[in-house]
């Protein structure tokens, strides 16, 4: 029996079409327009942010668990400060949820996967 057959293999990766790095140039298409078809969660993060690195894998798992009911757009605040400024981001990680082209909710700070999953699930139901 192989490791994969025993269930000890790597965790499944979220399909790349569910998680996308977005930039100032692609934000309207990736978030505003896409949220008119399905909810889009924006993850404001930075490379140096420890809590951001903690929730990143949880968000990938949640995107996979929800099987396409939500897309995740990641915004590196160091590379795209205009987007962070436009939405008043003062602390990271910050998560914004968009539906129908509008921001409908936000969550600031790191949280365990279960809490994030419940929050996202309630917003996308």
pLDDT at 71: 92
In a domain, 28, yes or no: yes
In a domain, 38, yes or no: yes
3-state helix, strand, coil in the chain (%, to 5): 40, 20, 40
Is there a catalytic annotation at residue 38? Answer: no
pLDDT at 12: 40
pTM of the model: 0.84
Structure-token match 């140096």, residue found: 48
In a domain, 85, yes or no: yes
- What number of other Cβ atoms are within 10 A of residue 71's Cβ? 22
Catalytic-labelled residue, pool 31, 52, 77, 120: 52
In a domain, 110, yes or no: yes
Catalytic-labelled residue, pool 14, 42, 49, 63: 49
In a domain, 5, yes or no: no
In a domain, 1, yes or no: no
**CATH number of the domain enclosing 96:** 3.40.30.10
Is there a catalytic annotation at residue 52? Answer: yes
In a domain, 93, yes or no: yes
What angle (nearest 5°) sits at the alpha carbon of residue 14, between those of residues 13 and 17? Answer: 135
Domain count, the chain: 1
CA dist 60 and 101 (Å) reads: 22
Edge-to-edge strand list for the sheet holding 19-21: 19-21, 71-76, 40-45, 94-99, 102-108
Does residue 23 come out as left (phi exceeding 0), alpha (psi in the -120 to 50 range) or beta?
beta
DSSP code of residue 28: I
Of 47, 48, 31, 36, the closest CA to residue 96 belongs to: 31
Per-residue pLDDT of the chain (125 residues; tens, 9 = 90+): 333 333 343 334 445 678 899 999 999 999 999 999 999 999 999 999 999 999 999 998 998 888 878 999 999 999 999 999 999 999 999 999 999 999 999 999 999 999 999 998 887 77
Q: Which domain holds residue 45?
A: 13-124
In a domain, 75, yes or no: yes
pLDDT at 9: 38
């Amino acid at each position: 029996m192989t490791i994969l057959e025993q269930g000890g293999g790597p965790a499944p990766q979220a399909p790349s079409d569910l998680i996308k790095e977005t930039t100032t140039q692609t934000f309207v298409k990736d978030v505003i327009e896409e949220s008119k078809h399905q909810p889009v969660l924006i993850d404001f993060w930075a490379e140096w942010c420890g809590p951001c690195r903690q929730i990143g894998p949880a968000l990938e798992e949640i995107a996979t668990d929800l099987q396409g009911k939500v897309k995740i757009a990641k915004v590196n605040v160091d590379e795209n400060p205009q987007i962070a400024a436009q939405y008043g981001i003062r602390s990271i990680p910050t998560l914004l949820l968009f539906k129908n082209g509008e921001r409908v909710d936000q969550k600031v700070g790191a949280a365990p996967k279960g809490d994030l999953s419940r929050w996202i699930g309630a917003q996308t139901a």
